[in-house]
Amino acid sequence: KAGVTQTPRYLIKTRGQQVTLSCSPISGHRSVSWYQQTPGQGLQFLFEYFSETQRNKGNFPGRFSGRQFSNSRSEMNVSTLELGDSALYLCASSLGQGKDEQYFGPGTRLTVT
Amino acid sequence: AQSVTQLGSHVSVSEGALVLLRCNYSSSVPPYLFWYVQYPNQGLQLLLKYTSAATLVKGINGFEAEFKKSETSFHLTKPSAHMSDAAEYFCAVINQAGTALIFGKGTTLSVSS
């Protein structure tokens, strides 16, 4: 079974721009979660989607948004980029039923200049 | 609120020595706990999970962890370290709704020959 895939793997953007990251979950998984990883704050939860519905959202500003499609693929968008948004963005998928394990993709490294 | 604390941001061992990475949790409900490993420029790989079925959990690559409720701990061990074990290790607890992982700050394991 193919793992979680994320595109693009690397991205360089300028302050004020917006960016869209994509995540394709493991086949059969209906839940997709997004995490931000930075050296200072570590791994922080952004949001989780299940069957196209956002079930949970972390403590991030409204500039961070996401969505999930009927095939369970997910995108996250960051508008009006700030330097502090530079991070590794990780996507994880799971069956989404109960407290099952999450499987992570390789991440998208976003650099904001 | 649930949380995990990883004691020691950096652990160094010799090849063949015992690996012990410490994790303590805080949870008002029976926790579901996880250990993940991250190699440079990669996503997170699941090592093992605790779901209350057994207090001693065996994972991949020879790792295991023991859940001790009295000590609120879930330490990760491996009897004999290999050079390939050098990576960053994260302990995590899943939230009550099962929608978000809450991570510790991580422990970097170095293995010397």
pLDDT for A42-79, tens place per residue? Answer: 999 999 999 999 999 999 999 999 999 999 999 999 99
Nearest to B40 by CA among B102, B112, B110, B113: B110
Share of chain B above pLDDT 70, in %: 100
Q: Do the chains contact at A105 and B46, CB–CB below 8 Å?
A: no
Predicted confidence at residue A32, as pLDDT, reads 97
Interface residues on B facing A, Cβ-Cβ cutoff 8 A: 32, 34, 36, 42-46, 49, 51, 90, 92, 94-95, 97-106
How far is A16 from A19, CA to CA, in rounded Å?
10
Q: Do the chains contact at A90 and B43, CB–CB below 8 Å?
A: yes
Q: Do the chains contact at A55 and B46, CB–CB below 8 Å?
A: no
Task: Compute how many other C-beta atoms are within 10 angstroms of the C-beta atom of residue A48.
Answer: 29
Q: What burial letters (b/e) apply to A51-65, b meaning 16+ CB within 10 Å?
A: eeeebbbbebeeebb
Span B40-87, pLDDT tens digits? 989 999 999 998 878 999 999 999 999 999 999 999 999 999 999 999
How far is A100 from A79, CA to CA, in rounded Å?
31
DSSP character for B71? G
How far is A30 from A28, CA to CA, in rounded Å?
6
Nearest to B77 by CA among B26, B31, B20, B39: B20
Taking the Cβ of residue A104 and every Cβ of chain B, the question of whether any pair is shorter than 8 Å is answered with yes
Confidence of residue B98 (pLDDT cuts 50, 70, 90): confident
